[in-house]
Amino acid sequence: MSYPDRKIQLRKHDGDWAAGFHAMASPCVALTSGVDKTQTRKIAKLITKEVWRIQDKYSRYDPQSTLSRINSRAGTPTRVDTETARLLDTAKQLYAASNRGFDITSGVLRKAWYFDGSDSLPEPAEVETLMHKVGWDKIQWQSPMLHLRSNMEIDFGGIGKEYAADAALERVRAQHQSPMLINLGGDICVSGPRQNQQPWLIGVENPGHPGTGNKVIELSSGALATSGTSHRFVRKNGMTYGHILDPRTGWPVVDAPLSVTVAAPTCSEAGMWATLAMLQGALAETFLRQESGRQHWVKR
């Protein structure tokens, strides 16, 4: 496959350099501090190489991707590579930790739900039929062997972007010691403070009211991840159904916050807390306060 949109656009930014690119259906940026344009380009190349590699490997759209080939072998036992095995181990842990709320088999529910702002709700029977294909407990996973039931499929949408941010930072850090920040569509990790020991300043948008009530977070080390319902919803009979689906019911989480932002040492961990909190609906704040031990910002 060729990717005409895989470009890196360098621009001056606050006296430093920013490298913009597109990955995982999101606008992304890598920021450096205290290095020149050439160095920034080298750093951005390493970052994008890793991010695009993970994107291609776990693409749902590319029939040649590792993920597509795994899904196409549903019904027969499949041996997976080490990286995929780590992702599956993670999925297993999260399924248990979330009391079945985090489920990488729940992607099929997208076939029933179109979050286009309209009032079209799926037929309960349609959801019920799809639910037969949902459930990590229907899968046999004994690393490195995966046995998906036929008609079932998995995807790593819930952790892929955060994992890619951590993996890219890890990779580029091995070769460059200069300060940097990676932002993959709002999932952010930094290598440390900026050149002058100042924190990176990160704006948290107010999803319902763009441009208003924005908070700024000063991040010196670690990562931030945000999970949100953004503008994707369906509305019917005065109820708004956000796009966070609960794999246990097949229906959207009731009273989910507009967005949850969590700070953690790694982007992956921050993303897990944000996703798990979303599934708690009205109890998201309580859950984060009592369980996570991490700083968090919830918008409703």
- In the bound complex, what is the minimum distance in angstroms from residue 81's beta carbon to another protein? 14
Specify whether the CB–CB gap between 195 and 178 falls below 8 A.
Answer: yes
Rounded distance, CA 111 to CA 285, Å?
A: 30
Burial letters 164-177, b for 16+ CB under 10 A, else e? bbbbbbebbeeebe
Rounded distance, CA 294 to CA 14, Å?
A: 30
Rounded distance, CA 52 to CA 85, Å?
A: 19
Q: Does 269 contact another protein by CB under 8 A?
A: yes
- In the bound complex, what is the minimum distance in angstroms from residue 159's beta carbon to another protein? 7
Rounded distance, CA 152 to CA 139, Å?
A: 9
Single-letter amino acid code for the residue at 197? Q
Specify whether the CB–CB gap between 14 and 168 falls below 8 A.
Answer: no
Specify whether the CB–CB gap between 193 and 219 falls below 8 A.
Answer: no
- In the bound complex, what is the minimum distance in angstroms from residue 132's beta carbon to another protein? 26
Please state at what angle helix 82-97 crosses helix 267-278, rounded to 10 degrees: 40
Rounded distance, CA 246 to CA 281, Å?
A: 10
Using the minimum distance from each CB to another protein, give the nearer residue, 4 or 12. Answer: 12
Per-residue binding letters, 186-205, with another protein (x by CB under 8 A): -------------xxxxx--
Could you say which residues in the range 86-105 bind another protein, by CB under 8 A?
86-87, 89-90, 92-94, 96-98
Using the minimum distance from each CB to another protein, give the nearer residue, 33 or 59. Answer: 33
Q: Does 272 contact another protein by CB under 8 A?
A: yes
Could you say which residues in the range 218-247 bind another protein, by CB under 8 A?
218-224, 231, 240
Q: Does 217 contact another protein by CB under 8 A?
A: yes
Residues that bind another protein (rule: CB under 8 A) add up to a total of 65
Among 61, 197, 210, 237, binds another protein (CB under 8 A): 210
Specify whether the CB–CB gap between 227 and 277 falls below 8 A.
Answer: yes
Could you say which residues in the range 144-183 bind another protein, by CB under 8 A?
159, 163, 166-167, 170, 183
Specify whether the CB–CB gap between 131 and 138 falls below 8 A.
Answer: no
* Location of structure tokens 């704006």: 203
- In the bound complex, what is the minimum distance in angstroms from residue 125's beta carbon to another protein? 28
- In the bound complex, what is the minimum distance in angstroms from residue 204's beta carbon to another protein? 9
Q: Return residues touching another protein (CB under 8 A).
A: 9, 11, 13-14, 18, 20, 27, 29, 31, 86-87, 89-90, 92-94, 96-98, 117, 159, 163, 166-167, 170, 183, 199-203, 208-210, 213-224, 231, 240, 263-266, 268-269, 272-273, 276, 290-295, 297, 300
